[in-house]
Amino acid sequence: MVEIIEKVENGQRLTKEDGIYLYQSSDLLTIGQLADKVNFKKNNNLVYFIQNMTLYFTNVCEAKCAFCNFKKEPGEQGAYTLSGEEMVEYVNQNFNPQIREFHITGGHNPNVPFSYYVECIKSLKKAFPGVSIKAHTAAEIEFFSRLSGLSYASVLKTLMEAGLDTLTGGGAEILSERYRKKMGVGKATTEQWLEIQEVAHNIGLRTHATMLYGSIETIEERIEHMIQLRELQDKTNGFYVFIPLAVQPKSTKAGIKRRTSAIEDLKTIAISRLMLDNFKHIKAYFINIGTQLAQLSLTFGASDVHGTLVQERISHAAGALTPAGLTRDELIHLVKGANRTPVERDTFYNEITRF
């Protein structure tokens, strides 16, 4: 630990072995203090959030990922595929003028053409031209490429012309083929996910990156996941933020043994901050770890508490017990409770208001 402390204080990059050691260490407070110092150098006392709204055009999906409880088969009870006009109507019912971003993910629905997804974005952009569109994971881009026969770059450029501003970070899960095979991740491979991110960055589209931890992956695989992201960030500097996501059980009735521990959550956020030295932000996602732990994580290296969301569905379909959204005042209260300065931002991390 002394060697790692010296490395961090001297701005030296941590190795895979360092990351594994930190996960195995029981010295949570030292790890948290180190991460807090690194975060303070990058972001001072500021913690960012956005007023955003999650949207889901379809829950029909061809993939059969073992951790997902959101997807439906065509014709199954609860399955839906909304048109652009239907989504605009839904947004109008729940919209407030301060919303700055639509956060859009959904199923890989092969029963509609690629043009359907393009028109959905066009409809939203036409109805709400001042709202940024953060839509689709790299895994969805791979699916669109197969669906349309277009290259990754052509898919991305078509979506950008329709109004896409950035990609969401999902679909990464754990960037390990052993994990993806075992968990039945029926979507983009590790190589494809990373390639799509690089293509996006090279055509001027900055993006987000996640890690879904807490199931069958090893500690080594978590650290390797971070290192692969770090190496791509060295090449492109195209990621805004890293978002560790605690895996959720498939039932809200699932007991404590089916969930990640608070120690593991805090440790993962702190180690992410220490390993990902070329990322400006690490996000504490209250949907997965809860509001109070998200608040505590602001002293463990996190500098972003996501956004208002309005009504999150994917984690809640899988058993999340947390709020499906928070108000701006609640997010401000959350950040101030950690003795930090809340900053309302836009999608691109430009400061709008400091509280």
Which pLDDT score is estimated for 75? 81
Segment 201-213 shows an average pLDDT of 98
Question: What pTM was computed for the model?
Answer: 0.93
pLDDT value of position 321: 59
pLDDT band at 289 (very low <50, low <70, confident <90, very high): very high
Task: Find the mean pLDDT for residues 132-150.
Answer: 96
- Measured between alpha carbons, how far is 138 from 44 in angstroms, rounded to an integer? 31
Average pLDDT over residues 131-153: 97
Average the pLDDT over each of 33-37, 100-104, 245-249 and give the range with the smallest value. 245-249
Q: What confidence score (pLDDT) does residue 313 get?
A: 53
E strand segments, the chain: 46-50, 52-55, 101-104, 132-135, 207-213, 239-246, 281-282, 304-307, 341-345, 351-354
Q: Flag whether pLDDT at 300 surpasses 80.
A: yes
Supply 132's token pair: 């940024």
CB 59 within 8 A of CB 78: yes
The predicted pLDDT at position 86 comes to: 93
Q: What angle do CA 342, 348, 352 make, to 5 degrees?
A: 40
CA-closest candidate to residue 23, choices 226, 304, 288, 233: 226
Classify burial at 329, counting beta carbons within 10 Å of its beta carbon; exposed 0-12, middle 13-18, buried 19 or more. exposed
Arithmetic mean of pLDDT, 341-348: 97
pLDDT for position 246: 93
Greatest mean pLDDT among 139-143, 181-185, 321-325: 139-143
pLDDT bracket for residue 106 (50, 70, 90) = confident
Nearby residues of 115 by Cβ (< 8 Å), 6 or more positions away:
none
- Burial of 170: CB neighbours in 10 Å, binned 0-12, 13-18, 19+: buried
Residue 199, amino acid: V
